[in-house]
Amino acid sequence: QITLTQQAESLWISPGERVSITCRASQSLLYTDGNHYLSWYQQRPGQTTKALIYHASVRTDGVPTRFIGSGSGTEFTLSIEHVQPEDFAIYYCLQTLKSPYTFGAGTKLELK
Amino acid sequence: EVQLQESGPGLVKPSQSLSLTCSVTGYSITSNYWGWIRKFPGNKMDWMGYISYSGNTNYNPSLKSRISITRDTSKNQFFLQLNSVTTEDTATYYCVRSYYGYNFDYWGQGVLVTVSS
């Protein structure tokens, strides 16, 4: 199965800063249709899990433009520009290229 | 608006079966893909499987023959059954819509299931 590695378990930042969360796959997530099957999710306590990015760089409807997905092949990044107080949460990457679908271990954004 | 809501027992004894229901409103489960995901203590996420718009299923091999996902289209619900549970199955269970298989765009709130005698 494909392994996703999120190196940072936690990242400490201040509101207004920019942060990047990385996700590395054990094999390329590029499919023959030209899309990368890598998506990003946000989990906050007491809230439903929010889908942020799919196909590595496409924002889900309603997601603020400060959330930016990038990357290709095996290396992917979720960047958040001008972090807002509501962005302190756990972020997961997920691959849906091959079954079984697999998640990264998660990166927790914490207030510095 | 699409909404999903999990329901079921919060406590299951070891060796018994875990059964959960996901009730969907705002969208028909005869379209798209519908799945189950769990989050273990310590935050590890585990994809369990899905049932498609046509009723086909796909399961995580790690669950071997313990898992079954079924549906009742008349009630717009789908179900998870996990047999022979152990304490290692203690987790928060989420139902999700998997938009054409590539974006898990709607999630339920999750239900904590504890396996304990």
Helix (H) or strand (E) holding B38: strand B33-39
CA distance B52 to chain A (A): 14
Placement of tokens 């995901």 in the chain: B37
Is the CB of B109 inside 8 Å of chain A's CB atoms? yes
Q: Are B9 and B69 in contact (CB under 8 A)?
A: no
Which strand ranges, in their side-by-side order, compose the sheet holding B77-82? B3-7, B18-25, B77-82, B67-72
Percent of chain A with pLDDT over 90: 100
Banded pLDDT at B64 (limits 50, 70, 90): confident
Question: What value does the mean pLDDT of chain B take?
Answer: 97
Helix (H/G/I), strand (E/B), else coil: B101: coil
Question: Is residue B4 within 8 Å of B24, Cβ to Cβ?
Answer: yes
Residue B33 structure tokens: 């893909």
Q: Which residues of chain B have a CB within 8 Å of the CB of A35?
A: 102
Q: What's the rounded Cα separation, in Å, for the pair B47 and A32?
A: 23
Percent of chain B scoring above 70 in pLDDT? 100
pLDDT band at residue B66, thresholds of 50, 70 and 90?
A: very high
CA angle A34, B32, B21 (to 5 degrees): 135
* CB atoms A51 and B98 under 8 Å: no
Q: Over chain A, what is the mean pLDDT?
A: 97
pLDDT for the residue numbered B101: 85
Under 8 Å CB pairs connecting chains A and B tally to 54
